[in-house]
Structures are given as structure tokens and as C-alpha cells.
Amino acid sequence: MIEFSRHPASYRHWKLTIEGPVATLAMDVREDGGLFPGYTLKLNSYDLGVDIELYDAVQRLRFEHPEVRAVVIASNKERVFCAGANIAMLGQSSHQQKVDFCKFTNETRNAIEDASRHSGQSYLCAIEGTASGGGYELALATEHIILVDDGFSAVSLPEVALLGVLPGTGGLTRLVDKRRVRRDRADFFCTLSEGIRGKRALEWNLVDEIVPRSKLKDAVARCAAAFAARSDRPADAEGIALTPLTRAVTEDAIAYDHVTVALDRVGACARIHVAAPEEPPPRDAAGIHAQGAAFWPLAVARELDDAILHLRANEPELGTWILTTGGAAELVAAADAALMDNADDWLAREITLYLKRVFKRLDVTSRSLIALIEPGSCFAGTLLELALAADRSYMLDGAFEGDSRPPATLRPGPMNFGPLAMANDLSRIETRFLGEADKVEAVRAALGTDLDAQAADDLGLVTFIPDDIDWHDEVRMAVEARASFSSDALTGMEANLRFAGPETLETKIFGRLSAWQNWIFQRPNAVGEEGALTRFGSGQPARFDKSRV
């Protein structure tokens, strides 16, 4: 079982040091520290385990170290920055493992960019030695790249030339969309296995600065100080500890404090239930800080994040996720209000941004999402995002026979109109009603209102509203039908339907990952007996089928 929980004391591949407003994350990958046996992590090459530690470090820097305003990513190995994803690891991984690895790595890079863009915690990268493939892609996620100009240090994206695949963590997209590298130059660069050094790397905008090795330390310090000076993070604030999650895993269930997951292997589905707070949350920033990791929105974000990652990595055949909620809408609304009323507080901001990233992770997960809205449900505000993220939603019209609970309701809230935007930079309601501003405003007019099934249907917030006579059959048939379809077809369909509207860097990266990288990873030119990934390091050249498809 792959575990995604880590702590700096257990890091095997990263060294985290903090000096005032500047943190340094130094890559120092243990060659014998692979997540699985069968490969050696030479030259700071990485596998999923290395990236899990990086993700943990990025999270802890945001929550536990508000004083940190700039983060330097560097290497502790001499004349090597990072050789990218370990090729032997990729060669022995299943297709699903390769694609999930690329997706998680992308999400971690996106979290770095999100910290730079929204949290006042800017990342820069110091490259001494070779930054190849995923190593350069890590650098591309930062705001400023400094390259040593020594005739040896270089940046490269050699996947096309050496492996018959693509830079799988957004390299091509970041090259032309983020760094504005000219297409013709990018074309040459991406077919050059040895990479580009020094002055040409700077002229082509592959890096932001080149310096002699003797001046690297001073250049990094100067740049980090400049980033720190423009940040609004509080220099004297105390962070909160991201304490270990309470989690129990059994054969058929995963249980946290607020999130539970029931695993139905016969039906090929997982039922994810998220509970509302059980008591009123604090309303002021001091109360939020005092509760720390126990503050309901943060606790739910962490638990749901871990559950999503666990199911992705360890339960690939549970292709349908059924999303349910329970509890009091008033308490969810109060928690949302606490975040929004204290939006200028650094911790409240981080929690909201984390919730946004977790829902984005749900959006890009290759599982069918079905929301069930029943009596006792609490699809309000933040939790309404679960229903809006679903591919399809069913809301019971009325109550079940013999059920004394009031009929199910939905309650839109301010959190549904911007703070938790999708990768397309639109809210899920704006994406749902793309180009229909009147329908968006109709939902906005219902803020704070408990909507019954008919009202929710009239506003277009749910897909179907069966009564208690038809409920169980309609839900059963929907889940059974999903299990009967091709998982590949569903992944492609869902990925295409979920991101209507404008393209952004994120939607491009994940769209291309879902389609092209996914496809290329299965082609004989990459993974066949004579493919580039299979023969890499053997001394034998790859043999390619030259037909263009």
C-alpha cells in the first residue's frame, strides 16, 4: 500500500533548512531509497516517494512556517541538480502507475506555483549541474531559475530524443505558455538530448539568470531577499502543526474523523462521506489559529486529500466514487463565514487555498463521480462543491417511507462563487452555466437558502430528482451502468466534459496529460520490446514504428 503521509523527520530525499524568511529545499536523493525494489535512484532521479516528500514539504512550509517568504530549490549533490524521473522505475511500472505518478507530480508542481502566486511564498531554483527532464520541469514550476554558467551545467527536456515519450509533468506547456519560449526554439530544445547551457539558455528564456559558480550563493541570496521583501506573509506569526491524521484502514473501509470511505469491490465503487462540523466553529482569526489542524475546514481538506490519493494509488478498480454528506448546513455556513470574514489572515487564506487544491484534485481524478443528496445530507457551501464537481447528481424529491428526517436540501453559499475556483479559473457554478450569466445570478440570488429538490432542479443544480419509489433503482442502474463501460472511454469522456470554458496553463497540462501522455505511454515505440523506455540503458537503440498516427 502506498502511503502519502510524511514528516520532515522521516525525509530520505530532501533536506529542509530555514533561515529567517528564506527556506531551502535541497534535493539529496538516496540511491537505495526507492519506493519499490528493482531500481536505483542515481543522479537525484526520483520516483513517487521522492515527490511525496516534496509535496509534504510544500504543505508544511505554507502552514507551519508563515515567516518563510521565499523558498530555494537546490541540490546537495555535486555537479548534479536532478536527472528527472527514474527511467528504470518507469520501465517496470504499470501504465496506471506511470500516469498516476505524472498526475501527482503535476499537482505538486501546481502547488508550488500556487504558493508563489497566492501565498506570498515565492519559489526560485538554483541549478548547478544537469537539470534533465523532470528535473528541469521542477525548475519550470518556480518563479526564477538561476543556472551556473560553467560550460557544464545545462537544462534539458530529452524525453522525445531518449525515451520516446513526452515531458510528463507539464514541461512542454510551461515552456511555451509560462516562459514564452519561441516555438521554433522550443522544438529544437526538446529534440536535443544534451540540453542547452549558459548564454543560449538565458537568451532563449529557458532560465532567468546565469552566474559563475563562485557567485551562485550570492545570486540566490539576492533573489530570495527580493522575493521575501515583496511578500505579505507575517514575519512574526506562529505556524500551526500539521499533526498526523487519525485514520483506520480495513479491508472494506477507511475512516478519518470527518471523512469515511466504504469500499464496494463487487460493485466497483467507493462511497465517500464527508461530515459537517459537530459544533460551531470559531469566528475570529485567533480562534482559528487556536484550533489549528483541528479547525473543521482544514481537517476536512487534509482528510479528503489523503482519501483521494489513497484511492487513486491503491484502489484503481473502484472506478465510481459516490459522494455523500451529512450534518447541519448552518455549521458548514458558519465555518465558511469564518474563512471569508478572516480572508486577510494568512492562515484562513491558506486553508481556503488548500480546499481549492483538494477540489481541483478531485476534478482531475480519473474516476466517475456521482453525488447522492438524501435526507440528512449537508451539501451546503464548501460541501456543495462535492455535488458541483460530480459528473452526475441525484437528489431525492421528498423523503423515504418511514424516515422522519426532513427532505434533502441544497444551500449555495459565498464559497461557491470564486474562492474554490476550478483549474479554468471559473467557479463550478460558472462552469456549469457557461455563458449563461442569468442562471449564475439566479443561483447567487438563492445564497443561504435551503433549496428542496424541485427548487434545486429548477435552478439547474442537480441532474435528476427521483422520488422514493424510483430512487434506489435509478441510483443502482447508474452505478451498474458506470461499472459496465470501458474505463478508458470514461476517463476520456469525463476529462473532456469537466473543463468547459477558457483554457489555462493547468487545464492544458492536465488535458494533454490525460490524452497524449496517456496514449504515448502505451505505444510500442515507448514500451514495446524494442521501445525506447524498454531499451534505455541497454546499449541497444530503440526501433520505432515510423507510421504517423
355 half-sphere exposure, CB direction, 13 A CA radius: 27
Contacts of 162 (CB under 8 A, 6+ apart): 193, 532, 536
Residue 392: domain span = 248-497
Query: What is the Cα–Cα distance from 321 to 204, expressed in whole angstroms?
Result: 45
Find residue 15's DSSP bridge partners: 26
Is 99 inside any structural domain? yes
Same domain (yes/no): 215, 256? no
Residue 470 domain-assigned? yes
Query: DSSP per residue over 181-220, as a string?
Result: --HHHHHHHTT-TT-EEHHHHHHTTSSSEEE-GGGHHHHH
β-strand 70-75 against 410-411: which pairing, if any? unpaired
Residues 289 and 173 occupy one common structural domain: no
Q: Evaluate whether 430 touches 440 at the Cβ level (below 8 Å).
A: yes
> Do 68 and 138 share a domain, yes or no?
yes
DSSP structural state of residue 464: B
Q: Is 286 helix (H, G, I), strand (E, B) or coil?
A: helix
Facing residues of 370 across strands? 322, 392
386 φ/ψ angles, rounded to the nearest 5 degrees: -60, -45
**Residue 398 in contact with residue 407, Cβ under 8 Å?**
yes
Same domain, 80 and 225: yes
Residue 238 forms part of a structural domain: no
Residue 540 falls inside a structural domain: no
Domain shared by 334 and 450, yes or no: yes
Pairing relationship of beta strands 22-27 and 144-148 according to DSSP bridges? unpaired
**Residues 217, 252 within the same domain:** no
Question: Residue 3: CB partners within 8 Å, gap ≥ 6?
Answer: none
Task: Say if CB 143 and CB 223 are below 8 A apart.
Answer: no
Pairwise CA distance, residues 326 & 357, whole Å: 22
CA-based nearest residue to 352, from 413, 311, 308, 310: 413
Residue closest to 325 by CA, chosen among 284, 368, 272: 272
pLDDT at residue 96, as a whole number: 87
416 falls within a domain? yes
Examine the domain organization and report whether 292 and 384 are in the same domain.
Answer: yes
Which residue ranges in the chain fall short of pLDDT 70?
A: 514-515
Is residue 506, in this structure, part of any structural domain at all?
no
> Is residue 320 included in any domain, yes or no?
yes
For 28, 249, 273, the CA distances from 320, given in Å and listed in that order, are: 39, 19, 14
Q: What is the dihedral of CA 415, 416, 420, 426, to 10 degrees?
A: -140
SS3 26: strand
The torsion defined by the Cα of 462, 464, 467 and 468, in degrees rounded to 10, comes to -90
Q: In the structure grid, which three cell numbers stand for residue 69, read together?
A: 517568504
Is the alpha carbon torsion for 254, 259, 260, 265 positive or negative?
negative
**For residue 234, is it within any domain?**
no
Cβ partners under 8 Å of residue 30, min gap 6: 12, 13, 41
219 with 267, same domain: the answer is: no
Strand partners, 80: 130
Per-position DSSP letters for 358-416, written without gaps between them? HHHHHHTSSSEEEEEE-TT--EEGGGHHHHHHSSEEEE-SS--TT--SPPP-EE--GGG
- Are 282 and 427 in a shared domain? yes
Coil/strand/helix, residue 325:
strand
499, 492 contact by CB (below 8 A): no
* 222 and 252 assigned to the same domain: no
Domain final residue pick, 497, 512, 533? 497
Taking the C-alpha atoms of residue 261 and residue 303, their distance in angstroms, rounded to an integer, is 11
What's the domain count of the chain? 2
Distance between CA atoms of residues 515 and 51, nearest Å: 23
Residue 220 makes CB contacts below 8 A (sequence gap 6+) with: 72, 74, 124, 126, 146
Note the pLDDT of residue 490: 92
Is the domain of 131 the same as that of 46? yes
Please give the helix or strand (H or E) that residue 490 lies within, else none: helix 487-497
- CATH code, domain carrying 193: 3.90.226.10
| CA distances (Å), origin 167, targets 34, 80, 83, 400, 422 | 21, 19, 13, 52, 24
CB 525 within 8 A of CB 545: yes
Whether residue 330 sits in one domain with residue 187: no
Q: What's the pLDDT at 515?
A: 65
φ, ψ (nearest 5 deg) of residue 71: -125, 125
- By DSSP bridging, strand 14-19 and strand 22-27 are antiparallel
Contacts of 546 (CB under 8 A, 6+ apart): none
Contacts of 371 (CB under 8 A, 6+ apart): 322, 323, 324, 379, 386, 387, 390, 392, 393, 394
